[in-house]
Amino acid sequence: MKPTLFILAAGMGSRYGGLKQLDGLGPNGETIMDYSVYDAIQAGFGKIVFVIRKDFEDDFREIVLRKYEDKIPVGVVFQSTDALPAGFVCPADRTKPWGTNHAVLMGKGAINEPFAVINADDFYGRQAFEVIVKDLMRPRTRKGDYSLVGFRVGNTMSENGSVSRGVCSSKDGYLTSVVERTDLSYDNDRNIVFTNEYGMKQSLDPNTHVSMNFWGFTPDYFDFSEDEFIKFLNLNIENPKAEFYIPGCVDALIRSAKVSARVLDTDSTWFGVTYSDDRPSVMEKLAALHQQGVYPTPLFK
């Protein structure tokens, strides 16, 4: 059974000001998401599922999905603030989404095979998709046997300011923790540095693995996630800014010894438009990939 690619796109409307603002960064107006779909098809995924907001379903189907529907089966599920487990009611003043792992939970019922999760607005590179497909298709003998594509932090930096990354620790190839670092940047000597919990600058080896939200799961993750979400809601339902993130959920499950996650190395270079000044560089990188023959022109004919 071919795995599914689950694309987190529920935040697109708010981040881009509407779907018509989806940025055409490729030489023929391709969006970053177009490249992810193309790479997924080439790597061997069998289906694409998007999680979006219900209020822009029509525009999404017209502007986005129709490009892919004759290339690979596609589906859509919806994230909303009131999609909560039985016994919970969304507070009336809650406007912020419940986070990326809540978005993943929306796939329960639509995904019955191993699946990868990615962000809609990140460029991950072909090799990263090939690595995760191979892992998702291996035999499993137990529940909770997951994976994470570990990008080397030196391949994920911006020249235009600091970035946030989930810095991974591992043992024998398995993830032991993910710690969010919010101010990774270059110093004057081109070292990658961040401020640790004691307020001191600390350097990071450029080959250190970081999470860019490229996860590999099996459908049992939905049940594990729902249990953790209930715990989260019991503590945070009245906090209008609290969000249920994938790294936090996986980290809790690993610490409780319920699951494991292999760290899959990739030499792919991640990029995205973290800052407006990143845009020209991203366009140059995509144009170069077309010129090198990595991608056809146009991407989807």
Residue 298: is the preceding peptide bond cis (ω within 30°)? Answer: yes
List pLDDT tens digits, range 37-81: 999 999 999 999 999 989 888 888 888 888 898 999 999 999 999
Residue 45 near residue 114, CB atoms below 8 Å: no
Residue with tokens 């000001």: 17
Alpha-carbon distance of 131 to 34, in angstroms, equals 19
Residue 187 near residue 167, CB atoms below 8 Å: no
Q: What number of residues does the chain have? A: 301
List pLDDT tens digits, range 194-216: 988 888 889 999 999 999 999 99
Query: If you average pLDDT over residues 167-185, what whole number do you get?
Result: 93
List pLDDT tens digits, range 79-136: 999 999 999 999 999 988 899 999 999 999 999 999 999 999 899 999 999 999 999 9
